[in-house]
Amino acid sequence: MLGFVTALSGGDGLRVEERLGDGFVRLRVSEAERRQAKHDIQCVEDATIELLRNARDAGATSIYLASSREGSCRTLTMVDNGSGIPQHMTERIFDARVTSKLDSMLMDKWGVHGRGMALFSIRENAQEARVVLSGPGRGSVIQVRFDVDRIKERADQSTWPTVGSNKREDDVVRGPKNIVRACVEFALESKAACNVYCGLPSEILSTMRKHALGTYGSLGTKADADDDTVPLVAMPAQACDARELAAVAAKMGMDMSERTAHRIVRNEIAPLRNVLAQVQPRAGGQRPQPLMPTRRSLPLSDEERDLLANACATAFERVAGRYYVVPVGEATVRCSDGRLTVSIPYAEDE
């Protein structure tokens, strides 16, 4: 018996509960759960659905999904106005079999939800999964990062789906099974319960800011994530200027430059409509064309905007003197409705 215990205390001891002979073993519960979790999440889109289901089951009526990719890293940041997570549970919710749905297990088109394995499965497959902010009654901000070289995502993340009908169903979703399609399918399944918004981090912050200003008005003069009276979806409305908005974004796990925050404050980054409003037929049976994530603007980075602005400013300086004018401010770049506009303020040269 001592020899058996010693054998299991080696590398396999953490995985194997009992050796049965002829190569058969009984796995420990923790190892079986880990293997199940690895199988549950096959791609980034699977994780998207699980995050959405989690927010819905927490009572959220508004869910905001910020999606971005840099190199091989896909980042999903989900903000909801659900019941929130107590501080002492922000790590434990990623453990196996931990659930708040003891008496409210739900069956939907993706199977059973409420067995306490969704967030565990996500963390097992992700580079990082964390609760950025949360609190009872305040909602939650959960962020997940994936290495898409290891956990795949659809190659086409640009094309929006279309929604139609056939003889068997009223709502049939067509298009690449990408992140935004996952959001549309979930929203169709849950449209009586919640609205879903999906876009770039800057678009999501612009959308939350507009909604919060409309619902709550300005909530103060200083953004403070530690104020446990402020719903997390309303935090962007606390920012009085771009500097404060950039600080709010950082607290919510969506770092951005002050330049981008200025664009949000100046309403240069348009708020989003919910995903169903963008794909469902309009009155009269007219269906909008499939939309792209770049439907409002090119997704230029701050560095790319600076490159364009500086190049145009340099060219303007070369000709400005001929017309006795001088630039009096920074050049700015704006993209909207298929148009890129560079603005350079100038005045007469005294």
Residue 136 placed within a domain: yes
**Tally of structural domains, the chain:** 3
The residue range of the domain holding 16 is 2-27
Q: Same structural domain for residues 215 and 107?
A: yes
Both tokens of residue 302?
A: 């701050």
Q: What was the pLDDT predicted at 247?
A: 94
Beta bridge partners of 163: 173
121 residue type, one letter: S
Q: What was the pLDDT predicted at 8?
A: 41
Both tokens of residue 295?
A: 């439907």
* HEC profile of 143-194: EEEEECCCCCCCCCCCCCCEEECCCCCCCEEECCCCHHHHHHHHHHHHCCCC
Threshold 0.85, pTM exceeds: no
Q: Same structural domain for residues 61 and 174?
A: yes
Residue 291 placed within a domain: no
Q: Same structural domain for residues 199 and 110?
A: yes
Q: Same structural domain for residues 161 and 45?
A: yes
Residue 340 placed within a domain: yes
Q: What was the pLDDT predicted at 349?
A: 74
Q: Same structural domain for residues 267 and 324?
A: no
Contact 212, 230 (CB under 8 A): no
Q: What was the pLDDT predicted at 216?
A: 66
Q: Same structural domain for residues 332 and 241?
A: no
Q: Same structural domain for residues 68 and 195?
A: yes
Q: Same structural domain for residues 263 and 166?
A: yes
Write out residues in the chain with pLDDT < 70, as ranges: 1-13, 17, 20, 22-25, 27-39, 99-116, 166-170, 216-228, 281-298, 336-338, 350
Q: Same structural domain for residues 238 and 311?
A: no
Residue 193 main-chain phi, psi, to 5 deg: -105, -40
Residue 290 placed within a domain: no
Q: Same structural domain for residues 211 and 266?
A: yes
Q: What was the pLDDT predicted at 264?
A: 93
Contacts of 47 (CB under 8 A, 6+ apart): 41, 76, 122, 125, 126, 144, 146, 151
Q: Same structural domain for residues 63 and 115?
A: yes
Residue 297 placed within a domain: no
Q: Same structural domain for residues 194 and 317?
A: no
Both tokens of residue 95?
A: 């453990």
Residue 255 placed within a domain: yes
Q: Which of 253, 285, 317 is the last residue of a domain?
A: 285
Model pLDDT for residues 301-315, shown as the tens digit of each residue: 777 777 888 888 888
What number of CA atoms fall less than 13 Å from residue 144's CA on the CB side? 28
Contact 140, 55 (CB under 8 A): yes
Please count the helices (runs of H) and the strands (runs of E) in the chain. 10, 15
Residue 293 placed within a domain: no
